Amino acid sequence: MRHLLATALILVAAAPLAAQSAGQSQNQDLGERLPQDGAVQTTEDEGLSGSVSFEGNLEDLGIAIPAFATDRDAPTPANAAGTAALGTEIARVVYGDLRNNGLFKPTGPDALPRPAYAEIATPNYATWGNRGADMLVQGYVRAQGSGQIAVGCYLYDTKLNTQLARQGWLVTPGEWRRAAHKCADMVYSRLSGESPFFDSRIAYIAETGPKDKRVKRLAIMDSDGANHRFITSGKSTALTPRYSPDYKKLSYLSYVDGNPRIYVYDIGTGRQTLVTQSRNPTFAPRWSPDGRYILYSMAVAGNTDIYRVPATGGESVRLTSGPGIDIGGSYSPDGKQIVFESDRSGSQQCYVMNADGSNQHRISFGGGRCATPEWSPRGDQIAFTNASTFNVSVMSPNGQNVRVLTRGWQDEAPTWAPNGRIIQFFRSSRGRGGEASLWQVDLTGRNERRLSTIAGASDPAWGPILP
């Protein structure tokens, strides 16, 4: 009954939108609808106890991550070989998360014995201490009668023989990787003191074909590159996506009607609408942290300004005016300020204004062009593209303390990890190939690495921790 009611509500809500859209033309580049996300239910409270014995560099912290145990090897839709094999896969994902991000010194399940189910809550400390591990991450996976999967994750200090943290989750079989990411997040947070970031997704543009005839498709993937999906077919160029904070929508630029315009794609319904009903080109969509507003930039007679519109539609408010290209915009985490770029001074520079458009003032005076500013989710830094040298850099919100993080031939469009410790960006190669690829670097400028994507890739947009 609830399902029927929900369907009826969607039909009612969709009717006026259908009347607005120009027939089916706005949807003709969209692929199949995505399956609905299931909820991840936390079943065990985070048990925090004891202090961490390790006092050296976290990069030297040895962590053993053996295969997760299972109470009985049961069939599960999550793995054709059953829950025992799934336990190995979960440990591999946890291991991959930590290793690929240069965190700690992890050892994975393929190099370790599997503990018995009964050992998970009472580890054999001597075994792991003798293997040189400072920390032990072990867990269990159980097929539930409900069809769900229960995953437990435990972190132990093998020097002090104490449990440092534990958590458990119930997930649908299709979302077992989320439990693994949550386990990696628990370990990372407990040991580093930082906020989690693994259980999140990235929207980006997949690029294939030669430089002058490149196909650009909207795509999404988990933070580790898994669960890759295309949203658009590639018939029209798609650019600059942004996830809504609740992951229910994607705003992005599409040429589907021949003109560059921002659309808001509803992942649940598979429908999309224009961000504003206007014949003018629109660019650079950005969500407010609470998801209530979308910023977009619109060119009127060639002059681009920044506008704000309620995410549910309605009247747009123009935030900038005057000659010059004002474009982009990134909210401070408290939603009170917006950093944006403008060439009103003669070259691209970064400016900060209040969320209502008042008190616009330039913050970048470091030399070079300042472009694509993105406010850190922690609020303490702004990442930007130095559009003269094409390095990704960070600065304080007042424009001071500029630090260059990357040195590619052309790096641009930084996006923050949910915890504000890692930045992704895209790098273009010089010359006729002109390949684009996704990269990430941590805030110290270390651990730079290329992300594995199925094709060329640009415009990464890292969403927050999944709800």
Q: Cβ contacts of residue 360 below 8 Å, gap of 6+?
A: 320, 351, 352, 353
Nearer to another protein, 88 or 349 (CB): 349
CB of residue 175 vs another protein: minimum separation in angstroms?
Answer: 33
Residues of this chain that bind another protein (CB under 8 A):
210-212, 214, 216, 237, 239-240, 253, 258-260, 281, 283-284, 297, 299, 301-304, 325, 327-328, 341, 343, 347-348, 371-372, 385, 387, 390, 409-410, 412-413, 428, 430-432, 434, 458-459
265 close to 238: Cβ distance less than 8 angstroms: no
CB of residue 126 vs another protein: minimum separation in angstroms?
Answer: 56
- Integer Cα distance of 182 and 198 in angstroms: 7
Nearer to another protein, 169 or 425 (CB): 425
Nearer to another protein, 172 or 282 (CB): 282
CB of residue 446 vs another protein: minimum separation in angstroms?
Answer: 25
CB of residue 411 vs another protein: minimum separation in angstroms?
Answer: 10
DSSP string, 364-425: --SSS-EEEEEE-TTSS-EEEEETTTTEEEEE-TTS-S-EE----SEEEEEEE-TTSSEEEE
CB of residue 436 vs another protein: minimum separation in angstroms?
Answer: 10
CB of residue 326 vs another protein: minimum separation in angstroms?
Answer: 9
349, β-bridge pairs:
342
- Integer Cα distance of 175 and 171 in angstroms: 6
Q: How far apart, in Å, do the first and last CA atoms of the chain sit?
A: 25
Nearer to another protein, 200 or 237 (CB): 237
Q: Cβ contacts of residue 445 below 8 Å, gap of 6+?
A: 403, 404, 405, 406
CB of residue 278 vs another protein: minimum separation in angstroms?
Answer: 13
CB of residue 282 vs another protein: minimum separation in angstroms?
Answer: 10
Q: Cβ contacts of residue 451 below 8 Å, gap of 6+?
A: 225, 424, 437, 438, 439, 440, 457, 460
CB of residue 413 vs another protein: minimum separation in angstroms?
Answer: 7
CB of residue 388 vs another protein: minimum separation in angstroms?
Answer: 9
- Integer Cα distance of 181 and 85 in angstroms: 17
- Integer Cα distance of 67 and 90 in angstroms: 7
Nearer to another protein, 106 or 328 (CB): 328
Nearer to another protein, 175 or 411 (CB): 411
Nearer to another protein, 39 or 409 (CB): 409
- Measured between alpha carbons, how far is residue 390 from residues 240, 268, 362, 399, 405 in Å? 18, 37, 20, 18, 11
Nearer to another protein, 78 or 338 (CB): 338
Token reading at 443: 């805030």
User: HEC string of 166-229?
Assistant: EEEEEECHHHHHHHHHHHHHHHHHHHHCCCCCCCEEEEEEEEECCHHHCEEEEEEEECCCCCCE
Q: Cβ contacts of residue 264 below 8 Å, gap of 6+?
A: 249, 250, 251, 272, 273, 274, 275, 285, 294, 311
Nearer to another protein, 259 or 359 (CB): 259
Nearer to another protein, 179 or 387 (CB): 387
Range 394-428 burial, b when 16+ CB lie within 10 A, else e = bbebebeebeebbebebbbbbbbbbbbbbbbbbbb
Nearer to another protein, 16 or 258 (CB): 258
CB of residue 433 vs another protein: minimum separation in angstroms?
Answer: 9
